[in-house]
Chains A and B, each alone.
Chain A
């Protein structure tokens, strides 16, 4: 049982202001050029922090896995000189929803699987994380993916209550952050209010998957569902927005960049998308997922079968970002439920026939 404290409303801005004074803080805030649009960015003033926000377009994984990052720089001297490039400064990532916390843990596991990748854990080790609870919109379905109540990968977790936030202290680093803050012991009343918030959250969830993750994996494994993938693919533009906005997508590309003087440059790692036609392209023009439906199918199987079987949970947090971002209005819940329901309908007919 973690320690539970209460941070009253009047102490919140002071607390985050002090964190900003201590070092860089990234959190949900309005985009300067686009009022009303909340995204994860660096904060210079605690007043800009928006802890009560709807799911961002780009998930906070970008704090640890930037869309583009330098791996090393090279100079074309003789012999060649290669210099590793890494950010080393510590920072704090605040205001992370439970679904995105669950995603951080998934990427911890995915990158740690032997042979382990080192950029992600090194970036993770630089940061403290503060989570915050939220209310769902019509795209959220985190109760179906076991991430509604996630406290993974965070040091403190905040739940809105009447007099401020109920603060769950989950690690020594979290305890350390609170050392000079105006926090008090939580009462049973505070705890009951936090519990009520969680009940309300779960109750407000309108979207849900019609099968458990295990049932879904079995349904996907039982047959190829080719007709359905073709139907979905006929609407898909292969734009890759679903991958770009996904908190659990971790594929990447590696490319070189020359400086203008052509005497040096850098090797870059950047986000990539399995929905793009060239993703599985091999020398000689061979493409192992050339057809759009094969790529659409791959996304579902990767999230709900392959990684599920490897790590024991679906690599989907129910955040709904892919559905919100889809330029063709393809909704992950609708498509998944269609698969489930068609499979069950076939089973029923099979039993009767």
Chain B
């Protein structure tokens, strides 16, 4: 708008700039600094160089366990959740009646899934005599010790996240609905079957959304806290002790602020590297309509 000062826009974004500096940028730099210190709140941070990091990578067994559990958790949940979300969205995308009803039903868990109430519910339905085991025994199976066995415990936490596939599904569904129908008609005339149509038309056209969901789900999964904290408390044998739990306990139970910052930075570095790999590789598999490269 012509006559306005070129600084007028800055006035509107000023709250954002202030918030960015105070609550994000300064803390971001500070946590990097703290990760090289020994700081337990009693006295000012003491510079300790790489000590925290060498401790983490050479001596800290809890960290090693926690890291491998976290990676396992993320690499299990993210692909499963995306595939499932896409699969259901694909089915919903046919002109079915009640599409809105199903969309709502599937979306409800995403709204509630992060809540403590649902984590509580999970504790009960996977308990020894809980709903899941009642169902298994009713069909003649043998009750499973969901929380006692380290392998099963992580699986129940994974299921809690899979259960919340609705938000990813809604995004997929919106993308599927925006695909130009004439492309499908053209493919049908050329004699393409359903599978070919899906692989060569549908998938390429929704790659931007797959990419978006992939990044978002990954960043979120790496930060999962409520589920394991409330349902399994990190156990048994630390089999669900995800890195955010470890950071929380180091920082806010033991007040090892320096050490906790170092763990947080390792987690951050992993997320960043994977995000960068995704961004870098996206040039080869993400197709933007109207983009000449592809």
Same assembly: no
Please report B residues at the A interface, Cβ cutoff 8 Å: none
